[in-house]
Amino acid sequence: MNVSRKGFLASVAAAGAVASGVRAAKADEGKRRDAVVYVAAHPDDLAGSIGTVMRLAEMYDVHVVDYTHGERGLGEASYLDGSCGRMRTAEEERICKAIGVALHWCDEIDGEAFAGREACESLASLFRKIKPRAIIVHWPLDTHRDHLMSSAAAIKAAHLAKLNPEIYFQEQDIQSRGFPVTYFVDVTKFTERRRELISIYKSQNGPAIAERKISTSKANGLRIWGSKGRYAEVFGVFPGTVPPGKGIFDYMPGVYR
């Protein structure tokens, strides 16, 4: 078959893009984007990875799943009258709408969450509909029990749904223990947007959370780049679930190992 010079150069450019780890964007407008599901225990847990979620939403169909509504985040009285749950639900809805990602709830109770059969089956049902390429969950060595339960439920749900997604762990900076970093995701361009969105979690003193998360990501940037002015969120990998060099983060520019 004869190939024109123009066609040859186009082929070389396309091959170069693949070799450099850059996925061709919108090669097929009608093709459904792969899905990524971010599973957290409480509404404000998203704060630790919100820059990465914004980056992933540029490439994937991103879903956020909150295992609880964070009902006890303001004490027992506001849990009993339902005011805390309503407030934190509204905050999360506002943030996910601003990012442009779908939001789902498992309706476990804050402080009483378990990876029970019913909860796992409910999550598995959602996974069957979404068919995620990847899920992001809490690292299981953590001081908050709800984090452990939501992580275990998500991993079990993938098994019940007969799916084999890539599984990544997110770090909670003041609660994770012995976190094994595999990926540093550059979120520098979202620094001010992160501050703005995280501050929406007013029920949990969002502005203070925002400054802490930004400080943590700045320290992560120093760890990988050794210079000031760059910010990173970090992730680990569940062994054996991510094909070498072919995971969701391997196709993103500005991600380092």
Domain ranges of the chain: 33-256
Domain 33-256, classified CATH 3.90.1300.10, yes or no: no
Instruction: Tell me the pTM.
Output: 0.86
Token pair 């060595």 is found at: 141
Query: How far is CA 183 from each of CA 63, 76, 253, rounded to the nearest angstrom?
Result: 21, 38, 12
Beta-carbon contacts of 109 under 8 Å, excluding residues fewer than 6 positions away, are: 68, 71
Give residue 60's pLDDT.
97
Both structure tokens of 230: 């760059």
241: nearest Cα among 169, 181, 165: 165
Sequence-separated (6 or more) residues with CB below 8 Å from residue 198 = 44, 47, 50, 206, 207, 209, 210, 213
pLDDT at res. 30: 53
Provide the 8-state DSSP code for 137: E
Do β-strands 61-68 and 35-40 pair in parallel, antiparallel, or remain unpaired? parallel
Cα–chain center distance at 202:
21
Of how many residues is the chain composed? Answer: 257
pLDDT tens track, the chain, 257 positions: 333 333 433 443 444 433 333 333 344 445 789 999 999 999 999 999 999 999 999 999 999 999 999 999 999 999 999 999 999 999 999 999 999 999 999 999 999 999 999 999 999 999 999 999 999 999 999 899 999 999 999 999 999 999 999 999 999 888 889 999 999 999 999 999 999 999 999 999 999 999 999 999 999 999 999 877 899 999 999 999 999 999 999 999 999 98
